[in-house]
Amino acid sequence: MKTSWGFATVIKTPKELILFDTGGNSEILLFNMRKLGISPLSIKKVVISHIHGDHVGGLEGFLEENDNVTVFIPASFPQSVKDMIIDKGAKFVEVSGPRKISDFVYTTGELYGPPEEQSLIIDSKNGLIVITGCAHPGIVNIVKKAKELMNKDVYLVVGGFHNPPISVVKEFRELGVKKVAPSHCTGDLVREAFREEYKEDFIEYGVGKIIEVENN
């Protein structure tokens, strides 16, 4: 696998594959997808969390490989990104409030950072799975929003936590978060604090990592 600063993850539901964020470089994104046996053409929906280049940078190159997708972008995105998506032959949906994206998959809607950012919520039988790009609106705020929207406990939080204070570990416990997989921009000290607190419920998350959650 190739690594670089950025974030992208593929979500496989019983119905379809969803690409959440595209990293900063489409060559690395497409190389790693193929290494994992994931054809770019198998993706029908792309969700972009926020405007920063390490999350949206791989989108244009991805759309050159597969334009038969709908891209869910925060409504605050600049017109230039919307024009690029259309120029590449794909469709986009502007996300402002919470909405359903697929079976079991929802977006929090735009939450204010800055910049505005959306996170994904997967409704699994074990509880909610929250996937964040960089958590600019605050990782604790995002988890609270997910609980409030879905009225369920949070099973797993995955993604970039944006270098929060160490106290976030205690707040996660108070919110009843069962498992954590912090990566990307979380920060080493915070990641180690989560590892120490969560022990076997801490998941080392990075390029090529696959997390399977049963939803039967």
Mean pLDDT (whole number) for 66-85: 98
The answer as to whether 2 is a domain residue is: no
Write phi, then psi, for 133 (nearest 5 degrees).
Answer: -80, -70
The answer as to whether 160 is a domain residue is: yes
- According to DSSP, the residues that pair with 52 across neighbouring strands are none
Q: Is 53 left (phi over 0), alpha (psi -120 to 50) or beta?
A: alpha
The answer as to whether 207 is a domain residue is: no
Q: CATH number, domain at 68?
A: 3.60.15.10
Mean pLDDT (whole number) for 137-162: 98
Domain that holds residue 173: 9-201
Q: Write down the pLDDT at residue 214.
A: 81
Q: Write down the pLDDT at residue 32.
A: 98
The answer as to whether 133 is a domain residue is: yes
The answer as to whether 215 is a domain residue is: no
Residue 72: pLDDT over 90: yes
Q: Write down the pLDDT at residue 216.
A: 59
The position carrying tokens 């939080």 is: 157
How many domains does the structure of the chain reveal?
1
Instruction: Give pTM, 2 decimals.
Output: 0.97
The answer as to whether 186 is a domain residue is: yes
The answer as to whether 216 is a domain residue is: no
User: Considering the chain, what is the average pLDDT of its residues?
Assistant: 97
pLDDT tens digits along 14-56? 999 999 999 999 999 999 999 999 999 999 999 999 999 999 9
pLDDT tens digits along 169-216? 999 999 999 999 999 999 999 999 999 999 999 999 999 999 999 875
The answer as to whether 210 is a domain residue is: no
Hey, what long-range contacts does 62-70 have (CB within 8 A, 24 or more apart)? 62/19, 62/22, 62/26, 62/29, 62/30, 63/88, 63/89, 63/90, 64/26, 64/88, 65/26, 65/30, 65/40, 65/41, 66/40, 66/41, 68/41, 68/44, 69/43, 69/44, 69/45, 70/44, 70/45, 70/46
